[in-house]
Amino acid sequence: MTWIWHPRVLLAPGLVLILVAIGGRYTLDRAGFTDLAWVDLRVIGLVVGLVALTVDVARRPRRPRGEERREGWLVAATLFFVFQIASGLWAPDAARVGPQTLDLVLMAALVLAFYLYATGDPEAVIRTAFLLFYVAAILFALAALASGPGEQGRYSAFGGGPNVFVRIQLLGVISAIALTMFTRRRLPLVAIPLFLLTAVLSGSRAGLLAGLVVGAAALWKIRRKLTAGVVVAVTGVLALAGGVIGLLAPPAFTSLFQERFVEQTVQERYLSDRTDIWGAAWRLAVDHPLTGTGLDGFYGTVGVNQRVEYPHNYVLGVAAEGGLAGIGLLALAVLLWIATVRGGGRRPRMTGPAVASAALVALCSLFSGDYYDARLFWLFAALAAAAAVMPVPAARDREAVPA
């Protein structure tokens, strides 16, 4: 007689919430319905996800009283989001307070929902999350190759920018490795060459650098556990990836690589005007040290005149628009989270890939994207924290049926 272990959580909440998280800002005008441009599918998706999550929580078995959890990071993160929203009260007139407030409310709700969902069964939720991100990365990669390069010769998919696209592809690499760890099957690794090819085609130099840093850090951490077989396998996958990229890369690949990575980066040291934008954000932070310029204050004071949407650096954006108060709350949330997940907690094998994913998005957010574009950092942070703090149930406490 064998036993089939059933997860304690329903699939529906995770499927909807992850779809909302990956989908980004999606209004119906992007699908061709210009008269319905006001319909924000994120709101609809989040409402559906919260209803499904309510049903899931209601059916869970009761947790024992006195169960200790280290959730100070979540309290600090919530206070940080609330402060950002409240800073709209002193934002300049040209600031887009309404849309930015909606972004922050949706992101805060997603983070809280993900954490609550993951606490029901961290192992099942993290497995499902990485599987869905793996499938999403494949779909994004195929869609990018099918649609071809954009105006700058860079690839992306489903209306998103290349800097967001590269995050999905690199998260696909982490997902493939995580699924291999969880299932002990090498089949998920087959898609890694595709992910690396499309990541390079995105032309995102910062994204690729972030991927290299996270990969190097992961190898350094497990250096003592590396065996000859693992080294050979990794080398083989990288060699295969290089071969596939060389054989299947579109004709524009060579010119993109030469222009974007060699000429602009190495020879011309071109950084897409990032240094000027960061300098403007830093000056705002210095001029408004305590509470910043308010929500979207960078755009309301600088960007509206220079046609720059945001500082392209999450930390500088918080400093410019939230001052020391915002930076302090952000630092407190991150430090408490690091203390929570340090060492992997109660599930190191589950916590590790989630931490790596959060670190990847965090590094990417230092070079591109606005507040809402950093949502995947907070979501993977929530998954990692849930895996680290939730007690591992005994086998007899799990629901099982004979097969």
pLDDT band at residue 267 using 50, 70 and 90 as cut-offs: very low
Q: What is the DSSP string of 210-233?
A: HHHHHHHHHHHHTGGG--HHHHHH
Is a pLDDT exceeding 60 seen at residue 365?
Answer: yes
When pLDDT is averaged across residues 59-88 and rounded to a whole number, the result is 86
Q: Is the pLDDT of residue 283 over 50?
A: yes
Among the residue ranges 117-126, 153-162, 282-291, 362-371, the one predicted with the least confidence is 153-162
In whole angstroms, give the CA distance from residue 209 to residue 145: 22
Give pLDDT, residue 305.
84
Closest to 53 (Cα-Cα) out of 14, 107, 104: 14
pLDDT value of residue 70: 82
Largest CA distance in the chain: 71
Question: For position 396, what pLDDT does the model report?
Answer: 40
Lowest pLDDT segment from 68-72, 102-106, 177-181: 68-72
Q: In the predicted model, is pLDDT for residue 6 greater than 60? A: no
Whether 19 maps to a domain, the answer reads: yes
pLDDT-based confidence at 21, cuts 50/70/90?
very high
pLDDT tens-digit map of 192-214: 989 988 998 888 888 899 999 99
Q: What are phi and psi of 27, to 5 degrees?
A: -105, 160
**Given this model, what pLDDT does residue 270 score?**
46
Q: What mean pLDDT is reported for the chain?
A: 84
Question: In the predicted model, is pLDDT for residue 376 greater than 90?
Answer: yes
**Residue 14 forms part of a structural domain:** yes
Is residue 180 classed exposed, middle or buried when 0-12, 13-18 and 19+ CB atoms within 10 A define those classes?
A: middle
Measuring CA to CA, which residue among 344, 360, 386 is closest to residue 221?
344
HSE-up (13 A, CA, CB side) for residue 319: 18
Cα–Cα dist 92/176, whole Å: 45
In this predicted structure, what is the pLDDT of residue 397?
Answer: 46
Look at residue 226 and tell me whether its pLDDT is greater than 90: no
Q: What is the mean pLDDT of residues 255-266?
A: 52
Residue whose entry in the numeric block shows the structure tokens 């493939």? 176
**Mean pLDDT for the stretch of residues 357-377:** 94
Is 21 part of a structural domain of the chain?
yes
pLDDT digit string, tens, across residues 328-342: 999 999 999 999 999
- Provide the 3-class DSSP secondary structure of residue 5: strand
Assigned domain for 254 exists: no
Residue 36 lies in a domain: yes
Report whether pLDDT(79) > 90. yes
Range of the domain at 34: 7-58
Q: Is the pLDDT of residue 250 over 80?
A: no
Sign of the CA dihedral running 235, 238, 240, 242: negative
pLDDT in tens, 293-332: 999 999 999 988 888 888 999 999 999 999 999 999 999 9
H-helix or E-strand containing 285? helix 274-287
Q: Helix axis angle, 348-364 relative to 162-183, nearest 10°?
A: 170
Q: Would residue 193 count as lying in a domain?
A: no
Question: What is the distance between the alpha carbons of residues 127 and 152, in angstroms, rounded to a whole number?
Answer: 36
Q: Phi-psi category of 345—alpha, beta or left, where left has phi over 0 and alpha has psi -120 to 50?
A: left
| Count: domains in the chain | 1
Domain annotation covers residue 119: no
pLDDT digits (tens, 9 = 90+) for 23-54: 887 766 665 666 666 678 889 999 999 999 99
pLDDT at residue number 99: 92
Q: Is 309 inside a domain boundary?
A: no
What would the mean pLDDT of 393-403 be, rounded to a whole number? 46
